Structure 1
Amino acid sequence: MPSKKANFVYMQLTTYISDLLYRYECVIIPGFGAFLTRYKSAHIDNSTNTFNPPSKIVSFNKQLQANDGLFANYVASVEKCSYETALQKIRSFTSQISRELSEGKTISFKNIGEFSLNEEQSLQFEPLQQQNFSTSAFGLSSFVSPKITREFYKETVEALEEKAPIIFTPERKAAKSYLKYAAIAVIAMSAIGLGSLKLYESQVQKFNLAERQKANSLIENQIQEATFVIENPLPVLSLQLPKHTGMYHIVAGAYREEDNADKKVEQLRDKGFSPLKMEPTRYGLHQVLYASFEDRLEALNKLSEIKRTENADAWMLVQEIQ
């Protein structure tokens, strides 16, 4: 039976996962799987007449287990511990989950959902339907509104028309015919005035176009006659500087000795990378970066490529750098 301390760590880590789901679309738990969020627009449930606000729906993918550094870095920053200590806590966390699932228990992640194994021993995830991870919908809740029955009012109006039909007398019809001729006369006069206005506008546009063409022709002639001579032109200066911007950085290694970090930078530069040596961390480590990215998925793809072809121990750092 897990101790009280183990249960406390378990509850804390599930809370951290919930916090990250408000900010990111993918939160990977190393060695266990990834929580993914997907935006869903506001909609109406016609069966219950319920109006639902926009939301972020949570799903789970067991195939995404490679450590991208996001969860471990967040745990380390919140609990003010080293990155290695945070990884050890996550490993204990996933081991406890796997053990309890194999015993047939249902594992509940607070504010996220529940995990269990089916008869084929496959992992099943049931998200918590009431939870909404969309910050743009904060404070909005679902509500029920009765359906508007427009057909009822239509039938009532038709019944009133049958009881009190509208009858036009001959005098009214005669007056209506005079009004019709008067309206035709007004339309004819308006058409004549509109035609005159259109003719005037056309003449003005033709005049403006002719004057604009004259001005353009004069300017082109003056430009062709001008001669520009620059003595002793300055040489073209070409600078190629590595750019490391964004929150997602692929780390080649962290070194206690700065000389070792400098050697790693030279090695990566010889291989065609644009490495960057960061300022020492609060633990005195000098981290060397392969590259930095604005987009998280692009960074994950590059990390997989580097792990496969260059450095199996590379990992992702998620933070702002100066």
Structure 2
Amino acid sequence: MNIANCILEALKTQGSVAVPHFGVFSLKYSGAIISNEDGHILPPAKQIVLEKNYLLKENSFVNFVAQIKGISSQTADFEIKTQTDYWKKKIEARESFEVEALGAFNSDAQGFSFVGQRIYLDSPDVYGLEAINLSEMSSQKETQPSQPKKSNAWKVVLWLLILIIPAGILGYLNFYHPDILFGVKSFEKDKTQKTTPSQPVKTTKTNDTLVIDSLKQDSLPANNLK
């Protein structure tokens, strides 16, 4: 394992690494970004940053390298110094180079800059998100046939049924059975009362012959008395 990989392992376990006579590597939160190379949406991650300090004196990383590689502290310190001296010479020569495990060292007329690698750790900060390919999403969207909006069509049919059925029932009742809707009209009640036939009055006829006979009988005794 080279020194760059040792720095990366120390970052994953400790979050910060002080490399003697070079600087401090650490991790910072980086939000989701769109990759310029392939157009992927990269999820949130941890990105390596560097604070350059050639005067730094720290032995913790030396002990870490000695332990992880199973070598002495003197050997570990020598390997670290050899690697950092090589990087410093390139930086002083204003050469841009890339270290696979850490990131890109850029030098130009404006100065030195470091663009660290993005590290995806098993951390709640990244929310378990994965990279999304925008080009694949757009191609799938183009090739996918458009689905008819069945739900909207069913809603229209349902509303038509709700409106048409009651209207049809009301129209039928209005035409054939208006009395169910509006009741019997008052003038029709008066009409039925006026047109009711009057009952015939029974008259009793007296028999004229019976009247005459009764008169005769009443007059007979008077004549006999005379």
TM value normalised by structure 2? 0.51
Letter in 2 for 1:97: W
Quote the offset at 1:163 in angstroms.
8.2
Which residue is 1:56 aligned to? 46
Aligned partner of 1:146 in structure 2 is 137
Inter-partner Cα distance in structure 2 for 1:19 and 1:173 = 81
- What is the deviation of 1:157? 5.8
Q: Which residue of 1 aligns with 2:98?
A: 108
Instruction: Compute the displacement of 1:173 (Å).
Output: 9.8
Q: Do the aligned partners of residues 156 and 64 (structure 1) sit closer, same or farther apart at CA in structure 2, a change above 3 Å counting? A: farther
Q: Does 1:38 align with 2:32?
A: no
Give me the whole-angstrom Cα distance separating, in 2, the residues matched to 1:63 and 1:154.
Answer: 64
How far apart in 2 are the matches of 1:84 and 1:172? 100
Pairing 1:171-320 to 2, within 5 Å after superposition: none
Aligned mates of 1:87, 1:35 — CA distance in 2: 17
| In structure 1, distance between residues paired with 2:39 and 2:47 | 21
Deviations 1:42-73 (A, max 9, x none): x586xx99554442111221259633433111
1:74 aligns with one of 49, 52, 64: 64
Give the share of equivalent positions with the same residue, in percent.
20
1:14 and 1:44 map into 2 onto residues whose CA distance is 25
Deviations 1:71-126 (A, max 9, x none): 11111113333334422332232222111222343232222212132103x22112
Q: Verify the 8 A CA contact 1:22 1:133 in the aligned structure 2.
A: no
Give the aligned CA root-mean-square deviation in angstroms.
Answer: 4.2
Q: Which amino acid aligns with 1:143?
A: I
State the alpha-carbon separation in 1 of the partners of residues 39 and 155 from structure 2: 32
Verify: 1:92 aligned to 2:88, yes or no.
no
User: Structure with the greater relative contact order (CA < 8 A, sep ≥ 6): 1 or 2?
Assistant: 2
Q: TM-score, normalised by structure 1?
A: 0.38
In the alignment, structure 1 residue 16 sits paired with structure 2 residue 10: no
Residue ranges of structure 1 left out of the alignment (5+ in a row): 1-10, 175-322
Distance 1:64 1:173 in 2: 94
Preserved contact between residue 21 and residue 133 of structure 1 (Cα < 8 Å): no
Query: Which of the numbers 126, 134, 153 marks the counterpart of 2:121?
Result: 134
Question: Relative to structure 1, is the Cα distance of residues 78 and 49 closer, same or farther in structure 2, using a 3 angstrom cutoff?
Answer: closer
Is 2:21–2:53's contact at 8 Å kept on the other side of the alignment? no
Is 1:125 equivalent to 2:114 in the alignment?
A: yes
CA-to-aligned-CA distance 1:285-316 (integer Å, 9 cap, x gap): xxxxxxxxxxxxxxxxxxxxxxxxxxxxxxxx
| Partners of 2:24 and 2:52 within 8 A in 1 | yes
Unaligned runs of 5+ in 2: 171-226
Alpha carbons of 1:26 and 1:64: their partners in 2 closer, same or farther (altered >3 Å)? farther
Cα separation, 2, equivalents of 1:26 and 1:173: 81
How many correspondences in the alignment?
Answer: 156
2:63 and 2:76 in contact (8 A); partners too? yes
